[in-house]
Structure 1
Amino acid sequence: MRAAEKTGSKLQKLTELFAGKAYLLIIIQDNPDPDCIAAAVALRKLANSMANLQCSIACGGTVGRGENRALVKYLGLNLRNCGEIDYSKFDLLAMVDTQPGTGNNSLPTQLLPNIVVDHHPIRQLTRTVPFTDIRSGYGSTSTIFVEYLIEAGITPETPLATALLYGIRSDTQDLGREAARADIEAIQFLYPFANKRMLSIIQRGKVPRVYYQMLADALGNARVQGPAIITELGEIDNPDMIAEVADLLLRDDETTWTMCTGLWNDKLLISIRTSEENNVAEHVMKRMVFRKGTGGGHLTYAGGQVPLANTTKAERQKLERHIEEKFLKAIGADAATSARLVKA
Structure 2
Amino acid sequence: MAPGTTVKQEKPILMDHPFPKSTSSIEKCKRLFETVSPEDTLAILINADPDAIASALALTRLLWRRIKRTLVFHVNIIKRADNLAMIKLLKIQQQHIRKLNPAEITRWALVDSQPSHHELLSKYKYDIIIDHHPFVSSTSAQFLDVKEDYGANSTIMTEYLRATKVKPSPRLATALFYGIKTDTDNFVRPSIQSDINAFRYLYPFANLNLIKKIESSEMTRQTLAGFRAAMENLTFLKDKAFIHMGRVNDPDILVIIADFFLKMVEATWCIVSGVYGQKLIVIFRNAGFRLNAGSTAQSLFGQWGSAGGHTSTARAEIPLQEIESDVKESDLREWILEKLKTI
Shift of 1:175: 1.9
Query: Is 1:77 aligned with 2:89?
Result: no
Q: For residues 37-56 of structure 1, what are the structure 2 equivalents within 5 Å?
A: 37-49=53-65, 51-56=66-71
In structure 1, the residue matched to 2:341 is: 328
Query: CA-to-partner distance for each residue in 1:24-82, whole Å, 9 max, x for gaps?
Result: 111111xx221111111111111224x13411111222222222111111222233222
Deviations 1:96-155 (A, max 9, x none): 11101123x622x442211111111100111x3221110011110000000001111111
Give the 3 Å change call, closer, same or farther, for CA 238–153 of structure 1 in structure 2. Answer: same
Tell me what 1:124 maps to: 137
Name the SS of the counterpart of 2:204 in structure 1: helix
Q: Give the counterpart letter for 1:248 in structure 2.
A: F
CA distance in 1, matches of 2:127, 2:31: 12
Distance across 2 between alignment mates of 1:4 and 1:202: 37
Read off the aligned partner of 2:130 and give its amino acid letter: V
Aligned mates of 2:264, 2:68 — CA distance in 1? 48
In the alignment, is the contact (CA less than 8 A) between 1:138 and 1:180 conserved in 2? yes
- CA gap of 1:310–1:327, structure 2 versus 1, over 3 A, is closer
What's 1:166 paired with?
A: 178
**Aligned counterpart, 1:106:** 120
- Per-residue deviation at 1:312? 6.9
Which runs of 5 or more structure 1 residues have no equivalent in the other structure? 332-344
Shift of 1:3: 6.6
**C-alpha distance in 1 between matches for 2:131 and 2:301:** 22
Letter in 2 for 1:26: I
- 2:128 aligned to which of 115, 131, 136: 115
The equivalent of 1:66 in structure 2 is 81
**Aligned amino acid, residue 308 of structure 1:** L
Maintained 8 Å contact 2:37/2:67: no
Match of 1:181 in 2: 193
Query: What are the residue-to-residue correspondences of 1:132-211 with 2, within 5 Å?
Result: 132-205=144-217, 207-211=219-223
Alpha-carbon separation, structure 2, partners of 1:196 and 1:115? 31
Deviation sequence 1:173-227 (CA, Å, 0-9, x none): 2122212111111011101111011111111015331211111111111111111
Distance 1:68 1:18 in 2: 30
Question: Could you list the runs of 5+ residues in structure 2 that have no partner in the other structure?
Answer: 1-18
**Aligned partners of 1:110, 1:2: CA distance in 2, in Å?**
27
How far did 1:293 drift?
A: 0.6
Corresponding residue of 2:41: 23
Contact 2:304–2:323, Cα closer than 8 Å, also in 1: no
Residue aligning to 1:93: 108
Shift of 1:94: 1.0
Q: Report the secondary structure of 1:192's partner residue.
A: coil
The 3-state SS of whatever aligns with 2:51 is helix
| 1:219 equivalent in alignment to 2:231 | yes
Instruction: Report the Cα distance in structure 2 between the residues aligned to 1:142 and 1:254, rounded to whole angstroms.
Output: 32
Query: In the alignment, is the contact (CA less than 8 A) between 1:59 and 1:106 conserved in 2?
Result: no
Count residues in correspondence: 324
Partner residue of 1:12? Answer: 30
Q: Hey, what's the Cα distance between the residues in 1 that align with 2:278 and 2:154?
A: 30
Q: Which moved more, 1:320-329 or 1:55-64?
A: 320-329
Counterparts of 1:191 and 1:122 in 2: how far apart (Å)?
29
Deviation at 1:309, TM superposition (A): 5.6
Task: Tell me the distance in 2 between the aligned counterparts of 1:324 and 1:66.
Answer: 30
CA 1:90 to 1:321, structure 2 compared with 1: closer, same or farther past 3 Å? farther
Tell me the C-alpha RMSD between the 2 structures. Answer: 2.2
- The DSSP-based 3-state class of the residue aligned with 1:125 is coil
In structure 2, the residue corresponding to 1:219 is in which secondary structure? Answer: helix
Matched residue, 2:13:
none
Taking structure 1 as the reference length, what is the TM-score of the superposition?
Answer: 0.88
Structure 1 segment 224-303 matched on structure 2, within 5 A = 224-303=236-315
Deviations 1:277-332 (A, max 9, x none): 33011000111222211022111111121123698796334455434432331x2x
Q: Percent sequence identity over matched residues?
A: 29
**Separation (CA, whole Å) in 1 of partners of 2:98 and 2:236:** 39
Does structure 2 retain, via aligned residues, the 8 Å contact 1:23–1:91? Answer: yes
Once structures 1 and 2 are overlaid, which stretch shifts more, 287-296 or 82-91?
Answer: 82-91
Give the whole-Å Cα distance in 1 for the aligned partners of 2:277 and 2:20. Answer: 43
Contact 1:223 1:230 in 2 (8 A): yes
Cα distance in 2 for residues equivalent to 1:307 and 1:88 = 31
C-alpha separation in 2, matches of 1:320 and 1:100: 30
User: Whole-Å Cα distance in 2 between the matches of residues 174 and 21 of structure 1?
Assistant: 40
